[in-house]
Amino acid sequence: MITMLKAFVLVLLGLCALMSQAAETLLYRQHQSGEDSELTLSYRQEGEWVLIASQSDTQVYFSRCSDSGDTLQWQVSGEGVNLEARRQDETVVVSGTGRGGTIDYHFALDGLPWYQALSFALGQWLLRADESDDTLEFWMLRPDNYRPVRLQALRREPSMLTVGAGLRQARRVEVRPTGWRGSLWSASYWFETDTGRFLRYESGALVPGMAQTRIELSTMSP
């Protein structure tokens, strides 16, 4: 218990330091299961890596990734959770504690990228992809049970999106699991066309009892 508390404090201090030095900090409004909360995202370039910190009401997340969004390291701390995932060549090693107890396993990437901070990685994909490159497969660790899931992203046509009191030129990316699980869940991300900035997220409740989530950009500071 003491070790977990120390780890949480260290991650929280690191988050505060990153936010104070961040090149960009964005505030989002999140609506889930009838409740509203705030979500903060901060980005900072450190050499060849991009550091991304996010904080919700209950958890703190750190990601270290390449400028394309491919993840090297991911950490999460919060109520009953103290977890780290780290890439070693073509394998991701996951260890720590979750709500269900000890977590200790690894999985192979099979030549696919590992995108954990989709709010950054998918925006970079849109900026870098050829016009004919409409689909992408990648791995992500699920934030609810910390198990790997293979996902597919599909790029949609640009459109105007109302965000707050203004209109933004945006492109939607639809994300769903590969295989038969794709019929059970999907989500959409919207990104500003010329910057790749994350604007909105909506998850689809395709089966009864699945919570719907909506996240939208509220404010940002340079």
Q: What share of the chain is helix, strand, coil (3-state, %, to 5)?
A: 15, 60, 25
pLDDT of residue 207: 53
pLDDT for residue 8: 39
Largest CA distance in the chain: 52
Q: What is the pLDDT of residues 98-124, one digit of tens each?
A: 877 899 999 999 999 999 999 999 999
Specify the pLDDT at position 205: 58
How does residue 212 score in pLDDT terms, banded at 50, 70 and 90? confident
DSSP string, 94-109: EEEEETTEEEEEEEE-
Q: Is the pLDDT of residue 88 over 90?
A: yes
- CA distances to 2, 57, 81 from 5, rounded to whole Å, are 5, 17, 10
> Is the pTM higher than 0.95?
no
Return the pLDDT at 2.
38
Residue 80 pLDDT exceeds 90: no
* Amino acid 181: pLDDT: 81
The CA distance from 163 to 144, in Å, is 28
Q: How far apart are alpha carbons 95 and 82 in whole angstroms? A: 9
pLDDT digits (tens, 9 = 90+) for 129-177: 887 789 999 999 998 889 999 999 999 999 999 988 789 999 999 999 9
Residue 170 near residue 199 (C-beta atoms within 8 A):
yes
Average pLDDT, the chain: 86
Of the ranges 33-37, 42-46, 65-69, 113-117, which one carries the lowest mean pLDDT score?
33-37
Name which of 150, 218, 158, 157 is nearest 192 in CA terms. Answer: 158
What is the distance between the alpha carbons of residues 143 and 32, in angstroms, rounded to a whole number? 15
Rounded distance, CA 137 to CA 53, Å? 24
State how far the Cα of 137 lies from the Cα of 150, in Å rounded to an integer.
7
Q: How far apart are the first and last CA of the chain?
A: 38
Question: Cα separation of 218 and 222, whole Å?
Answer: 14
Closest CA to 53 of 29, 25, 30: 25
Measure the CA–CA gap between 53 and 75, rounded to whole angstroms. Answer: 10
- Residue 52 scores a pLDDT above 50: yes
What is the CATH code for 2-221? Answer: 2.50.20
Tokens of 55: 């904080």
Q: What's the pLDDT score for residue 16?
A: 44
Q: Strand (E) positions, 124-184? A: 135-141, 148-163, 166-177
The set of residues, in sequence order, having a beta carbon less than 8 Å from that of 205 and lying 6+ positions away, is 211, 212
Return the pLDDT at 220: 60
